[in-house]
Amino acid sequence: MGGSSAGVLVPSVSKADEMGASVTPLAVSSSETTDVAGAPAAEGETVPDGSRDGAAVEADAERDRDLLCPICMGVIKDAFLTACGHCFCYMCIVTHLNNKSDCPCCGNYLTKSHLYPNFLLNKLLKKQCVRQIAKSASPIEHLRVALKQGCEMSVKELDGLLSLLSEKKRRMEQQEAEMNMQILLDFLHSLRKKKLEELNEVQTDMQFIKDDINAVEKHRTELYRVRERYSVKLRMLFDDPIPTKLWAPTADQHNSILISNSRNSRSSLVRTGSDNLQIRSNDVTAQLNHQEHQRKDAFSGSETSSLIQSGRVIARKRKIQAQFKELQECYLQKRRLGASQSHHPKEKVDAKVREGYHVGLEDFQSILTTFTKYSRLRVIAELRHGDLFHSANIVSSIEFDCDDEYFATAGVSKRIKVFEFSTVLNQPSEVNCPVVELATRSKLSCLSWNKYSKNVIASSDYEGIVTVWDVTTRQSIMEYEEHEKRAWSVDFSRTEPSMLVSGSDDCKVKVWSTKQEASVINIDMKANICCVKYNPGSSVHVAVGSADHKIHYFDLRNTSSPLCVFKGHWKAVSYVKFLSTNELASASTDSTLRLWDVNGTCPVRTFVGHTNEKNFVGLTVNNEYIACGSETNEVCVYHKAILTPAARHKFGSWDLDDAEDDAGLYFISAVCWKSDSPTMLAANSQGTIKVLVLAA
Domain 374-655+662-695 has CATH 1.10.10.10: no
pLDDT of 50 > 60? The answer is: no
What does the alpha-carbon distance between residue 608 and residue 569 come to, in Å, rounded to a whole number? Answer: 12
| H/E segment holding residue 554 | strand 550-555
pLDDT of 176 > 90? The answer is: yes
Q: In DSSP terms, which residues pair with 676 in a beta bridge?
A: none
Q: In DSSP terms, which residues pair with 626 in a beta bridge?
A: 621, 638
- Who wins on pLDDT, 476 or 158? 476
DSSP 2-46: ------SSPPP--HHHHHH-SSBTTB--HHHHHHHH-SPPPTT--
Query: Any residues with CB less than 8 A from the CB of 681 and at least 6 apart, and which?
Result: 398, 400, 407, 670, 671, 672, 674, 689, 690, 691, 692
Backbone angles phi, psi at 619, to 5 degrees: -155, 135
Tell me which of 134-148, 157-171, 448-462 is least confident: 134-148
| H/E segment holding residue 384 | strand 376-384
What does the alpha-carbon distance between residue 608 and residue 560 come to, in Å, rounded to a whole number? Answer: 34
CB atoms within 10 A of CB 484: 13
Write the CA distances from 251 to 243, 276, 592, integer angstroms.
12, 9, 80
Query: What is the residue-averaged pLDDT of the chain?
Result: 79
What does the alpha-carbon distance between residue 102 and residue 694 come to, in Å, rounded to a whole number? Answer: 93
Q: What is the structure's pLDDT at 41?
A: 41
Q: What is the structure's pLDDT at 336?
A: 85
Q: Do domains 65-149 and 374-655+662-695 have the same CATH topology?
A: no
For β-strands 79-82 and 87-89, DSSP reports them as antiparallel
Query: Any residues with CB less than 8 A from the CB of 91 and at least 6 apart, and which?
Result: 77, 78
Q: What is the structure's pLDDT at 389?
A: 47
pLDDT of 172 > 50? The answer is: yes
Summarised one tens digit per residue, pLDDT across range 272-284 is: 444 544 544 455 4
What does the alpha-carbon distance between residue 49 and residue 683 come to, in Å, rounded to a whole number? Answer: 90
Backbone angles phi, psi at 213, to 5 degrees: -60, -45
Q: Is the dihedral of CA 447, 451, 457, 460 positive or negative?
A: negative
pLDDT band at 37 (very low <50, low <70, confident <90, very high): very low
Top mean pLDDT of 37-46, 88-97, 299-308 is at: 88-97
Q: What is the structure's pLDDT at 316?
A: 83
What does the alpha-carbon distance between residue 332 and residue 348 come to, in Å, rounded to a whole number? Answer: 20
pLDDT of 472 > 50? The answer is: yes
- Who wins on pLDDT, 536 or 260? 536
pLDDT of 18 > 60? The answer is: no
Domain 65-149 has CATH 3.30.40.10: yes
- Who wins on pLDDT, 133 or 612? 612
Percent of the chain scored above 90 by pLDDT?
A: 44
CB 628 within 8 A of CB 612: yes
| Length of the chain in terms of residues written | 696
Strands (E), 556-624: 564-567, 573-578, 583-588, 592-597, 603-607, 619-621
3-state helix vs strand vs coil in the chain, percent to 5: 40, 25, 35
Q: What is the structure's pLDDT at 354?
A: 55
Closest by CA to 648, choosing from 417, 322, 311, 399, is: 322
CB 509 within 8 A of CB 532: yes
What does the alpha-carbon distance between residue 538 and residue 195 come to, in Å, rounded to a whole number? Answer: 47
HEC profile for 260-300? HCCCCCHHHHHHHHHHHHHHHHHHHHHHHHHHHHHHHHHHH
- Who wins on pLDDT, 315 or 438? 438
pLDDT of 197 > 60? The answer is: yes
pLDDT of 457 > 70? The answer is: yes
Q: What is the mean pLDDT of residues 654-679?
A: 74
Q: What are the sequence ranges of the domains in the chain?
A: 65-149, 155-225, 374-655+662-695
Summarised one tens digit per residue, pLDDT across range 379-429 is: 999 987 665 445 567 899 999 999 999 999 999 989 999 999 999 988 776
pLDDT of 466 > 90? The answer is: yes
pLDDT of 19 > 50? The answer is: no
Rama region for 618: left / alpha / beta (φ>0; ψ in -120 to 50; rest): left
pLDDT of 118 > 70? The answer is: yes
What does the alpha-carbon distance between residue 65 and residue 75 come to, in Å, rounded to a whole number? Answer: 8
Q: What is the mean pLDDT of residues 620-632?
A: 93
What does the alpha-carbon distance between residue 530 and residue 504 come to, in Å, rounded to a whole number? Answer: 7
